[in-house]
């Protein structure tokens, strides 16, 4: 048996906070003779969408992110609702945030945001075959839409204007599908 096969024993888990989007657990673990505590933020996961129009422009959103203390340029994204698949969430979110329906979704990747303390996994999709619909923003979603070419988006990554990790990952992976990239 390898070290990777041997997970620590969970001694106890206690919910210490329940929020709208996540909860916080405190876990007591034992690994051999070592006992330790971990605080864990649980999250259902997110769908991230790279919406690419027929002219190869990408729709991004600019919105205020209070933890960052500023407006960020990001790909459309949102929390996966309980009982919803990542694909269903992606289709819902692209229409809600930018007002377009996607005819096709291609999964580009999935990744853990910060696995040291957060269970959130982001599922990144390329959305094509976009047709105009209507935006349906949540009450607290205040954003503007910015259409950029891949080249313009990459320049904003290099200049530091795009600094959101999911957006950088999604743009780099989607660009490869179109033969564009670093």
Residues labelled as active-site residues: 141
27 near 10, Cβ under 8 Å?
yes
User: What is the distance, to the nearest Å, from the Cα of residue 117 to the centroid of all Cα atoms in its chain?
Assistant: 16
* Largest distance between two CA atoms of the chain: 60
101 near 128, Cβ under 8 Å?
no
Question: Residues of 66-90 as b/e, b for ≥16 C-beta within 10 angstroms?
Answer: eeeeeebbbbbbbbbeeebebeebb
Structure token digits, residue 46: 């997110």
């Amino acid at each position: 048996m390898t070290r990777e096969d041997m997970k620590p024993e969970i001694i106890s888990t206690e919910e210490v906070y329940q929020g709208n989007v996540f909860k916080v657990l405190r876990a007591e673990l034992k690994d051999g003779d070592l006992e330790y505590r971990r605080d864990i933020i649980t999250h259902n996961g997110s769908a991230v969408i790279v919406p690419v129009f027929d002219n190869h422009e990408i729709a991004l959103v600019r919105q205020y992110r209070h933890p960052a203390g500023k407006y960020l340029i990001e790909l459309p994204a949102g929390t996966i609702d309980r009982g919803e698949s990542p694909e269903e969430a992606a289709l819902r979110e692209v229409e809600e945030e930018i007002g377009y329906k996607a005819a096709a979704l291609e999964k580009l990747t999935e990744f853990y945001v910060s696995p040291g303390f957060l269970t959130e996994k982001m599922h990144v999709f390329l959305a094509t075959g976009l047709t105009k619909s209507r935006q349906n923003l949540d009450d607290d979603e205040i954003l503007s839409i910015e259409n950029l070419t891949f080249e313009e988006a990459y320049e904003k990554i290099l200049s530091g204007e795009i600094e959101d990790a999911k957006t950088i990952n999604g743009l780099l992976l989607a660009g490869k599908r179109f033969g564009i990239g670093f």
